[in-house]
Structure 1
Amino acid sequence: MTRRLEPMGRVKELSGASVPFLFDIHALIYSENAPELERQLHQEFNDCRVNKINERKEFFKVSLADVKQKLLDLNIEVKFTLAAEAEEYRRTLQIEALPVEAQSHI
C-alpha cells in the first residue's frame, strides 16, 4: 500500500536487495480507504502467508484469481494483467533449465 501519487516509486523501493527479483505489477487498486482494504485482504489470506512467524513480512502465496475474486466480493473493480514482464524471473528459469555445465558460462 502507498499513499504516493506515483505508486511506481514505492514498487522500485520494494524491489531492493532484500527480495530475489524485481517486483512486477499485476494490478493497481485505488481505494478510498486503502488501509482497511489492505487489512481485509491480509485477513482473508492470512493462512497463505509466506512467513508464519513475523506478520510484518507481508508476502503471501496466493493466486491472482483468488485475489481478484476477493476484490469482486468486496465490489472493487480492478484490471489485472497476467502477462507481467518478470524479466529476471523468466531469465532465471531459462538458466535453470540448462545443463549445469552450461550455467557456469552465462
Structure 2
Amino acid sequence: MRVILATVAGCLLATTAFGAQARALSQNDRQVCGWGAQIAAEAQQAKLSGVTLYATRKKLQARKFAKPWMRMTAFGITEQTYNSRSRLKPAAIKQTYYEQCAQHAVAKN
C-alpha cells in the first residue's frame, strides 16, 4: 500500500511539475514541439503500416515546409522513429515526443 501511495504521490508531483513547465513554454516552442510530434506520429504510422523508410523519405522530400530547417529536421525525426524498436501507437508516440520536446525547451530556457 505504501508503494502505491508513493507512486501516486510521485505521479502527482510529476504532473504538477510538468503543468508548471508547460506554462513556461513560449508559443513558438509549443508550435515546434507540436509540429515535431506530428512528424513522429506520421513516421510511426508509416512504419507500422509496412511503408519503407525510403518511401517515407521520398514522400517528405516532395512535401512543402514553411521554414528551411523543417525538411532536414523531419528527415531526422523520421529516421529516428524508424530506427526505434517501438511498436507504440502513433498517438502515444505523438504525446511522448511532445512531452520530451517541451521538457527540453523548458530546460534550455
TM-score by length of 2: 0.28
Structure with bigger RCO (C-alpha 8 Å, 6+ apart): 2
Question: Would you tell me which structure has more helix in proportion to its own residues?
Answer: 2
TM-score by length of 1: 0.29
